[in-house]
């Protein structure tokens, strides 16, 4: 199957401004836990970190900041 014969992909686009390139995901109430090890010279080296999202996650248009959270599920399915 050539490129030309492929069914057209329906892109996620902002209903307000038509933007289909730039999107912003905003996570609220995030707890970031970072493990540090202190070195003999007194400096600290960060080890593994962990972030935990407690609040809602919103999807926003990168152009006009329209709230696109209704499309967030679809957005995460296409994230790779
Ligand atoms: Zn927009």
Distance of CA 2 to CAs 5, 8, 47, Å?
6, 12, 47
State the pLDDT confidence band at 4, using cuts at 50, 70 and 90: low
Could you tell me the distance, in angstroms and rounded to a whole number, from the CA of residue 60 to the centre of ligand 1? 8
The confidence score (pLDDT) of residue 70 equals: 95
Number of neighbours of residue 68 by Cβ within 10 angstroms: 23
State the pLDDT confidence band at 10, using cuts at 50, 70 and 90: confident
**Residue 38 to residue 44: CA distance in whole angstroms:** 4
CA atoms within 13 A on the CB side of 45: 5
Could you tell me the distance, in angstroms and rounded to a whole number, from the CA of residue 22 to the centre of ligand 1? 9
**Residue 47 to residue 37: CA distance in whole angstroms:** 7
The confidence score (pLDDT) of residue 9 equals: 80
The string of pLDDT tens digits covering residues 22-67 is 999 999 899 999 999 999 999 999 998 899 999 999 999 999 999 9
Q: Which residues pair with 34 in a beta bridge?
A: 49
Q: What is the pTM of this model?
A: 0.67
Could you tell me the distance, in angstroms and rounded to a whole number, from the CA of residue 54 to the centre of ligand 1? 26
Is 78 buried (19+), middle (13-18) or exposed (0-12) by CB count in 10 A? exposed
State the pLDDT confidence band at 80, using cuts at 50, 70 and 90: confident
Sorted by where each begins, the domain ranges of the chain are: 21-77
Could you tell me the distance, in angstroms and rounded to a whole number, from the CA of residue 58 to the centre of ligand 1? 14
């Amino acid at each position: 199957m050539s490129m030309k014969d492929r069914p057209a992909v329906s892109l996620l686009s902002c209903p307000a401004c038509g933007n289909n390139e730039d999107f912003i995901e905003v996570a609220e109430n995030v707890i970031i836990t970072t493990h540090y090890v202190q070195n003999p010279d007194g400096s600290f080296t960060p080890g593994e970190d962990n972030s935990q999202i407690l609040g809602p996650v919103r999807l926003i248009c990168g152009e006009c900041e329209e709230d696109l959270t209704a499309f967030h599920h679809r957005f995460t399915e296409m994230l790779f």
